[in-house]
Amino acid sequence: MAVLCKPAIAVPEYVITNEETLELARRIHRGHPQLDLALRLIEHTGVQKRHLIQPIETVLRHPGLDERSTVYEAQSKARVPAVVSRALETAQLEPTQIDLIIYVSCTGFMMPALTAWLINKMGFRPQTRQIPIAQLGCAAGGAAINRAHDYCTAHPDDNVLIVACEFCSLCYQPTDIGVGSLLSNGLFGDGIAAAVVKGTGGHGVRLERNGSYLIPNTEDWISYAVRSTGFHFLLDKRVPGTMEDLSPALRALAEEHHWNVGKLDFYIVHAGGPRILDDLSRFLDVPREAFRFSRATLTEYGNIASAVVLDALSRMFDEQSAFEGHRGLLAGFGPGITAEIALGTWSAPGS
């Protein structure tokens, strides 16, 4: 049975604190009629700091889509290999033992995808399969886990590498001054994550069941407007309340597996914002502490899109609080509005 091993995480060196974000918003958007509302929303995100691939002064200049695309490619090639190497080392695998690479990113575009470059650069076999996922946004971390699980179910002796590379700062648009855009400017950060799903053996989450759910008629609630200046992030004010609609889908998948979603041992979910975690706690009837890993990611890194789920899982590994047979849920939420949900049990070393 497929096992999701410990993810490797990296965040870039440039840091902006929440206090600095608020001060920038006051200076740049002085006179904005809803500035006070935006500042209150940013203050209540729970984010203390975020990491960026460039100094904030460079981010704010926005040199155009062509230059940003160049930066995305250069930065991903400079930063991803080290994270991939650590994930492979943790899983005790060589590049030649990987049969599929799933690469997820919604903050930049390359064709061919970075997977082709990684295969050539890092010694993966030419026969390595590739699945790039670009349009599931923050849900893509959960989708990557689920597609890796599906693949290993069909090919139980194979191994899958998941890579999430998100440079959200490259999507900053200085002309977007709606409250949702201002909130996003104080919420999203940059980060890279990688993890191996082993078809046989391994220590981590033994994947048992997965599912997807899309809330009908919400496809325009989270979206990009793709323009000559790049990706313009659109966020509907109704998005924070979507856990009321998605929680039954999480509960239903657990019931199909004969589990009680409110009585699991661990929860690893996408931390899009504090209300999402608060609502999940309420609707699933689980303690607030159950989402401590996701809250820690949000506090220390902000919303790092598809990499959130993998970072939160890495924190659970570090805490060493899971024991053999512990049951858990992993979920990513994103455009659609879509939930990608996985259920699994903890597989201890040597089990």
Which residue numbers are catalytic? 138
**Coil, strand, or helix at residue 13?**
coil
**Coil, strand, or helix at residue 30?**
coil
Token pair for 316: 């659970």
∠ CA 33-35-40, rounded to 5°: 140
CB contact set of 33 (below 8 Å; sequence gap of 6+): none
Cβ contact 210:146 at 8 Å: yes
Token pair for 74: 């250069």
Token pair for 146: 């689920």
Cα–Cα distance for residue pair 17/21, rounded to 1 Å: 6
Q: Which helix (H) or strand (E) holds 233?
A: strand 230-235
**Coil, strand, or helix at residue 275?**
helix
Cβ contact 134:164 at 8 Å: no
CB contact set of 103 (below 8 Å; sequence gap of 6+): 113, 114, 115, 118, 130, 131, 132, 133, 163, 165
Q: Where are the alpha helices (DSSP H) in the chain?
A: 18-28, 35-43, 56-61, 65-91, 114-122, 140-154, 179-185, 243-256, 274-284, 292-301, 308-319
Neighbours of 77 (CB within 10 A): 14
